Amino acid sequence: MNVRARIIVAGMVQGVGFRWFTAREAQKLHLAGFARNLANGAVEVEAEGERGMVEELIAVLKVGPRAADVQDVQITWQQPLMERVRFEIR
Q: What is the pLDDT of residues 4-53, one digit of tens each?
A: 999 999 999 999 999 999 999 999 999 999 999 999 999 999 999 999 99
Residue ranges per structural domain of the chain: 2-79
Per the annotation, the verdict on 37 as an active-site residue is: yes
From 3.40.50.970, 3.30.110.60, 3.40.47.10, 3.30.70.100, which CATH number describes the 2-79 domain?
3.30.70.100
Q: What is the pLDDT of residues 36-48, one digit of tens each?
A: 999 999 999 999 9
Pairing of strands 32-37, 43-50: antiparallel
Output the pTM of the full model: 0.93
Torsion of Cα atoms, 53 then 17 then 43 then 52, to 10°? 10
Per the annotation, the verdict on 6 as an active-site residue is: no
Which residue in 19, 84, 86, 90 is the catalytic one?
19
Which residue in 24, 37, 51, 84 is the catalytic one?
37
Can you count the helices (H) and strands (E) in the chain? 2, 5
CA distances from 39 to 14, 33, 42 (A): 10, 19, 7
Q: What is the distance between the alpha carbons of residues 22 and 34, in angstroms, rounded to a whole number?
A: 9
